[in-house]
Amino acid sequence: MAIQMEFRGVTKISGPLVFVEGISDVGYNELVEIRTSDGDMRRGRVLEVSKGIAVVEVFEGTTGLSTTDTSIKFLGKPLMLPVSDDMLGRVFNGTGEPIDGGPTPFTEDYRDVNGLPMNPFSRDYPNEFIQTGISAIDGMDTLVRGQKLPLFSGSGLPHNLIATQVARQATIPGEETSFAVVFVAMGIKHDEASFFKRSFEESGALKNSSLFLNLADDPPVERLLTPRCALTLAEYLAFERDIHVLVILTDMTNYAEALRETSAAREEVPSRKGYPGYMYSDFASIYERAGRIKGKKGSITQMPVLTMPNDDITHPIPDLTGYITEGQIVIDSDLHRRGIYPPINILPSLSRLMKDGIGKGKTREDHGPVASQLYSAYARSQDLRQLSAIIGEEGLTDKDRAYLRFGDAFEQRFLSQRFDENRDLETTLSLAWEMLSLLPESELTRISDRFVKQYYRPK
């Protein structure tokens, strides 16, 4: 596929799409260079090809292109990203070109950004506990190395703070390993991007980070490539350089919007809310690039961030994400309004891989049952809070009132912590037992008696 072909003039321009006729020997999904009349160079890819005609999607948009003065060059290969260790500590644009003034990374190693599906047979099961220092995550919805665990948030909520706190504090207790952060910005605002850059600089994490920035005013088509470029680097670092990589993708909602926009331009049949029918497969081609491989030392852990349109968890973006990722951490506007940080609502949150990352030899033997008991007790306290709003606390039994006290303490003392507070797991679990000790012993049905004897200390 090494032959490069150049054509002058295009037939039709529509939205981000350019139609080129009279072509031959052009492959599906190959990379295209487009030169405008004033010498400006843009890039695109082949979306559809039939005899003599190709449909090209232009990453930087078609503004300023004309049908006569545009020349098109087919490069005979898909978009390739150069990868090397030097890319840590650097900032790139949405298609992987440096924008920090530094040199282009020197390497011969170019990778197809679309990646290849990992063979399920080669995967190693994620089961190593990552301590984030946040009680709500470590205690209730534990993150595991190689997992993909998204933050479901809403507009105006502190998801960026939580993501940076995780990036800064994440460790595996008692282990010294090389650790890198690949940060992917998709359609976020300039000040959000500079917040991330600054907090990476301040914590000294920047030298172990790569930033890929596609901001809100960058072309949406380019946004579709940004996570793929970043994950191509992450795969190289994890599976060839033995590094444990944490990938933060923010904001997947903007990515999905870009997907919808280009799908509409292609005149495809839409499914729910105008999003394309293949959005699930498309999301999967990003999220499934997390994981571990047998016999390889590195790993990719993903923490995507998405803002739920209208706080609606059944919206296609969070919905399809939730079906692919291994759980979700839900950030709640009600808790946020009440001044609780991090405002994580544990009830709809879940970590599917938690069970394999905790327990004897990993965290503590009572971790699983304690989390389960906290869940059910907190759920009950929330029901009772609603009930007492109607009938008043007097209408409740003593046991019910104990649950109400538990619910308040859980939010104020267990969930709440400072942005710079890094709690180890022992602290989190002893706090958890303090909370459970507010309940009568007979209520602890999910915990076996020997743990109750060991840790339960009612006042």
Partner 1 sequence: MVMGIKGKIRRISGPVVVAEKVSGLEMHELVMVGKDELIGEVVRVEGDSATVQVYEDTVGLKPGEKVLGSGMPLAVELGPGLLMGIFDGVQRPLEVIQRLTGDFIKRGIKTPALPREKEWHFVPKLKEGEVVSGGEIMGTVQETPIFEHRCLVPPDVKGKVVSVAKEGDYTVEDIICQVSSEKGMLELKMYHKWPVREPRPYMERLEPSEPLITGQRIIDTFFPVAKGGAVAIPGGFGTGKTITSHQLAAWSNAEVIVYIGCGERGNEMTEVLLTFPEWKDPKSGRPLMERTVLIANTSNMPVSAREASVYTGITIAEYFRDMGYNVAIMADSTSRWAEALREISGRLEEMPAEEGYPSYLSSRLGEFYERAGRVKTMGGGVGSVTLIGAVSPPGGDFSEPVTVHTKRFVRCFWALDSALASMRHYPAINWLTSYSEYIDYVESWWNRLTSNRWRSQRLKAMEILKREDELKEVIRLVGSEALPEQEKLVLETARLLREGFLQQNAYDPIDTYSSPEKQFVLLDAILNFHDAASAAISKGVPASKIVDMPQLTDLAKLRMAIENERIDEIKKFSEALSAEVKKLTEVKF
Closer CB to partner 1, 69 or 400, in the complex: 400
Candidate list 85, 192, 261, 319; residue touching partner 1; CB under 8 A: 319
Among 119, 176, 361, 459, binds partner 1 (CB under 8 A): 119
Structure tokens of 307?
Answer: 């803002």
d(CA 401, CA 397): 6
Tally of residues, the chain: 459
Which of 26, 238, 340, 344 lies at the binding interface for partner 1 (CB under 8 A)?
A: 26
From CA 281, how far away is CA 284, in angstroms rounded?
5
Residue 51 near partner 1 by CB under 8 A: yes
Q: How far apart are CB 142 and partner 1 at their closest, in Å?
A: 14
407 close to 389: Cβ distance less than 8 angstroms: no
What x-and-dash track marks residues 410-449 binding partner 1 by CB under 8 A? --------------------------------x--x--x-
**Residue 309 sits in the site that holds partner 1 (CB under 8 A):** no
Residues in contact with 2: Cβ distance below 8 Å, sequence separation at least 6, in sequence order: 76, 77
Q: State yes or no: residue 39 binds partner 1 (CB under 8 A).
A: no
Q: Please give the structure tokens belonging to residue 200.
A: 């990476």
Residues 6-25 touching partner 1, rule: CB under 8 A, are 24-25
Report d(CA 200, CA 310) in Å as an integer: 30
What does each C-alpha distance from 377 to 206, 284, 443 come to in angstroms?
41, 35, 9
Which of 37, 376, 412, 430 binds partner 1 (CB under 8 A)? It is 376
Two tokens, residue 215: 């901001």
Spatial separation of the C-alpha atoms in residues 433 and 317, rounded to whole Å: 37
Q: How far is the CB of 286 from partner 1 (least distance, A)?
A: 9
Least distance (Å) between residue 202 CB and partner 1: 34
Nearer to partner 1, 204 or 295 (CB): 295
Provide the 8-state DSSP code for 272. Answer: G
Nearer to partner 1, 2 or 103 (CB): 2
By the 8 A CB rule, do 254 and 187 touch?
yes
Residue 310 binds partner 1, judged by CB under 8 A: no
The encoded tokens of residue 73 equal 């060059």
Figure out which of the listed residues 103, 269, 453, 458 binds partner 1, where binding follows CB under 8 A: 269
Binding mask 197-216 for partner 1 (x = CB under 8 A): --------------------
Helix 226-240 crosses helix 279-287 at what angle (to 10 degrees)? 30
By CB under 8 A, the residues from 330 to 359 that bind partner 1 are 347-348, 350, 352-353, 355-356
Of the ranges 149-157, 197-205, 276-284, 302-310, which one interacts with partner 1 (CB under 8 A)? 276-284
Q: Which of 314, 339, 458, 459 binds partner 1 (CB under 8 A)?
A: 314
Position among 134, 320, 331, 429 found at the interface with partner 1 (CB under 8 A): 320
What's the CA gap between 330 and 247, in Å, rounded? 18
Smallest gap from Cβ 251 to partner 1, in A, equals 20
Neighbours of 140 (CB within 10 A): 26
**DSSP β-ladder status, 292-293 and 123-124:** antiparallel
Helices (H), 206-349: 220-223, 226-240, 252-265, 279-287, 316-324, 333-337
Task: Give the contact letters, 83-112, x = binds to partner 1 (CB under 8 A), - = no.
Answer: -----------------------------x
